[in-house]
Structure 1
Amino acid sequence: MRAAIVGWASLAGILMIIGGSFAMLAGLAGIINPDSFVVTMDRIFRLSTTSWGWWHLIVGAVVFLSGFGVFTGNVFSRTVGVIAAGVSMISAFVWMPIYPIWGILIIAIDFAIIWALTAPGPEI
């Protein structure tokens, strides 16, 4: 049983590092290319994504660093990881009209992170 718990926590840490990296890349994309065009059925929107880029960069960095903390078995890192992954999920949902593939990928990884950090049960 203990090996399974450690395995889920390790999976969560790895997913947090990967998910945080993806969020930081999406943030950098928004910062580097601040003017994006979104094409819908009726209109073309011109959006400035700089502030959302900074938001994703910061949230991604928190998730990324918390991923390393999970490997130490730190309960605070797990708690921060769940909260940061939840915030990352919400912000990725808002980001989806601009980068839909990245948004869906980040939401899926954050969901797996939250599940892996909360499903094991007893503390490591």
Structure 2
Amino acid sequence: MKSLMFALMTAILAANEPAHGLEASPAGNAEAGAAVFKRCMACHSVGPDAKNGVGPVLNGVVGRAAGVYPDYSYSAANKNSGLIWDEPTLTTYLHAPRKLVPGTKMTFAGLSKDQEIADVIAYLKQFDAQGQKVGP
């Protein structure tokens, strides 16, 4: 009976754990994310006139498959990662890009603050695939 209770309690606790062992992400602020994104602009762009640079255009990136933006030369690691850039995956990636995708061309070491990551994701979510703002 004790082992059944232990198994039941373990299952309940596991069901309440955040996915991938991550704590719940803070709510993002798109305006603050615009300021954080300035660090990304050396390589990436968003908006209707965005063009690939050192890194690919990030229009419509939230929800997009990794390694598919047109006319950008992705690393094999990125193209073959099978990732979808949803919020949890972007959060993990923006903490440590080379840890999630070993062999990525992205040389940025990552953002250390959860709030900055949530903010930059909120900022990027505003842009559809054509670079038009779709959110507040």
TM-score, normalised with respect to structure 2? 0.28
Q: Is the helix fraction higher in 1 or 2?
A: 1
Q: Is the strand fraction higher in 1 or 2?
A: 1
